[in-house]
Amino acid sequence: MSIPLPDEAATERLGARLGALLQPGDFVSLSGDLGAGKTALARAAVRARLGDWQEEVPSPTFTLVQTYEAPDLLITHVDLYRLDRPEDAAELGLGDALDEGALLVEWPDRLGRLPQDRLDISIRLVGEGGAREAHLTGHGQWAARLRELHDPLAGLKDE
């Protein structure tokens, strides 16, 4: 499934829908070139789930791992760009993080083998002015849940 993201607001809306749908055990891989919008999407997902659009959600590029405790879900945001080998990821405790909550993983190819049950989101720049396109592929249970991300009303909680 492809979703056009003509501006930053569209990326945030997709991230907000993702954040609302996250469940314990969810693995979301975020791929794309530098500057494609992976962190912006993850940041919006975290902020939406926390219910605080002012929450500081820094890129985990240098820390590698950032965790956030929503009332009902632990979200772990990971950036593996600086890893050289899949073995290096073993020290990060990602298996435990997945057991306890949801994982948003930038540069997932650095892990080597990915879980069979996951959502892949690939973002690419298209055209001028920062327009992007997200290509989503659901594996395992995400194959059925994928439609909820495209429906702008899905997963949004009543105020």
Q: What is the amino acid identity at position 83? A: L
List beta partners, residue 139.
118
Minimal CA–CA distance to 11: which of 121, 86, 155?
A: 121
Kind and range of the H or E run holding 30: strand 27-31
Q: How far apart are CA 102 and CA 29, in angstroms?
A: 11
| pLDDT value for 153 | 44
| pLDDT value for 150 | 66
Contact 40, 11 (CB under 8 A): yes
| pLDDT value for 154 | 42
Minimal CA–CA distance to 151: which of 22, 20, 17?
A: 17
| pLDDT value for 54 | 81
- Ranges under pLDDT 50 in the chain: 153-159
Quick one: how far is CA 76 from the chain centroid?
9
List beta partners, residue 106.
30, 79
| pLDDT value for 152 | 52
Model pTM score: 0.88
Phi-psi region of 51 (alpha: psi -120 to 50; beta: other; left: phi over 0): left
